[in-house]
Amino acid sequence: MADEIRIPIGSDADVVTARRRGRELAAQAGFSASELTIIATAISEIARNIVMFASRGEILVSLVGEDGREGVTVVARDAGPGIPDLEQALRDGYSGYGGMGLGLPGSRRLMDEFEITSEVGKGTTVTMTKWRREA
């Protein structure tokens, strides 16, 4: 099976697909059941953000290895309106749409590494990685 998958995001159905396929790929790296749920949820939160704010984007999930440990990296990219105030967006409870507003800060807490770049008018890219906890 492949080490990397790309999922176009344009609708709610794509969020479900991204979650499912991301989980399947991560399972290959031997993550535990709870870790898989965490990864799937983080993908879901980010994917929903794309649908909500940018309408369209893509998510790349790839298996990574570093210094003998295995993990999975998720890159979510869109060419949407961008986030004017990153600090605000990363704060709990802030929501641009009247929901719980937990997408970004939530995903950040779920994953081990989290990076976000955004430019107003250009788009947003989120890169997050989870490393497998050794037994």
Partner 1 sequence: METGTPEEVPVVQEAREEDLELLPELVTHLRDRRSELREQWANRITNAHLLSAMTDEETFSMATSVYDSYVEVLETGSVEALQAYARDLSERIIPRGVETYEVVGIVLLLRDVLARSLFEKYQKDFDLLNRVLDAYEPAANRIANTVAVSFVRERERIIRQQQDAIRELSTPVLQVRERILILPIIGVLDEQRANQFTEQLLAGIRGNRAKVVVIDITGVPDVDSEVANHLVQAVDASRLMGASVILTGLSPEIAQTLVTIGVDLGKMNTVGDLQGGVEEAERLLGFKVIRSDAADNLQR
Q: Which residues bind partner 1 (CB under 8 A)?
A: 12-13, 16, 19, 33-34, 36-38, 40-41, 44-45, 48, 92, 99-100, 102-103, 105-107, 109-110
Q: Given the complex with partner 1, which of 97 and 119 has the nearer CB atom?
A: 97
For partner 1, the closer CB: 64 or 102: 102
The two tokens of residue 86 are 């990153």
| Nearest approach, Cβ of residue 37 and partner 1 (Å) | 4
d(CA 68, CA 102): 33
Comparing CB distances to partner 1, the nearer of 107 and 124 is 107
Which residue's entry shows tokens 């994917």?
47
Of 5, 14, 20, 135, residue with least CA distance to 72: 5
Residue type (1 letter), 70: E
Q: Give min distance, CB of 2 to partner 1, in A.
A: 19
Q: How far apart are CA 45 and CA 75, in angstroms?
A: 13
For residues 1-17, one letter each, b for 16 or more C-beta atoms within 10 angstroms of the residue's C-beta and e for the rest, the string is eeeebebebeeeebbeb
Residue 42 C-beta: closest distance to partner 1, Å: 9
State the nearest-atom distance from the C-beta of 68 to partner 1, in Å: 26
